[in-house]
Amino acid sequence: MREHRDGEAPAEPKPSAPRSGALEKHVPHHYKSRFNRFGIDVKFNLIDRIEQISDDRIVAVKYVSLAEEYLADHFPTFPVLPGVMMLEALTQAAAWLLHRRSNFGKSIAVLKEARNVKYGNFVAPGNALRVEVDFFKATETGAVFKASGMVRETQALSARLELSYFNLAEKQPELAVLDQHLIDHTKARWTALNQGKEQRIQL
């Protein structure tokens, strides 16, 4: 530490980046990550393609492959996409819609509540889950969406989802730098996933 002379104000310490352990606990479960200079690795990306997108609606696809590790245990002799993963795919699609509506204004979009969740058809390897999410209403903390998943012409699940949308710095100002890194990371993922469809599809 540099000494300072009498009457001289001590130098302000430079802000340091938060430690990774302190950061992870603030990030929702589907953003749990390894932090390497704020490099964010999402554990499961359950949206593989966006077919349609507007401010009020998103249509996306999750392809199911036998290569996905969790299918080995669900179930060993009858592999199908777990219900929690199906619901997560709907949630991730709703999150993309929320990010687009707000022009990526906040860093975290996380499921607050799922209501009226109904499961129908199984989603087996080789099939695709077509996810359709419609904006229903805004809330004080985020938004509510009507969502469904289809396999061909058969409904696999439906639900009403409420998402919270916020910045970590709203409660802990020192995490503003992490908010910006998360937003930048989300924008990069969006660019890779969307592949120019914004210019071609205006619903």
- Greater confidence, 40 or 75? 75
Contact 114, 87 (CB under 8 A): yes
Contact 165, 94 (CB under 8 A): no
pLDDT for 38: 40
Catalytic status, residue 74: yes
In sequence order, the β-bridge partners of residue 150 are: 130, 155
pLDDT for 67: 86
pLDDT for 118: 97
Q: Note the pLDDT tens digit of each residue in 147-179.
A: 999 999 999 999 999 999 999 999 999 999 999
Angle at the Cα of 38 from the Cα atoms of 179 and 189, rounded to 5 degrees: 75
Burial class (CB in 10 A: 0-12, 13-18, 19+), 36: exposed
Average pLDDT, the chain: 82
- CATH ID of 20-196, from 1.10.3720.10, 3.40.50.150, 3.10.129.10, 3.30.930.10: 3.10.129.10
**Domain-by-domain residue ranges, the chain?**
20-196
Question: Of residues 26, 74, 181, 185, which has the active-site annotation?
Answer: 74
Sheet of strand 154-166, all strands in order from the earlier edge strand to the far edge: 49-53, 57-63, 128-138, 142-151, 154-166, 108-119
The separation between CA 158 and the C-alpha centre of its own chain, rounded to angstroms, equals: 18
Q: Note the pLDDT tens digit of each residue in 27-72.
A: 444 344 433 334 444 467 899 999 999 999 999 999 999 888 888 8
Please give the model's pTM, rounded to 2 decimal places: 0.77
C-alpha to C-alpha distance for 15 and 7, rounded to whole angstroms: 24
Query: Is residue 75 scored above 70 in pLDDT?
Result: yes
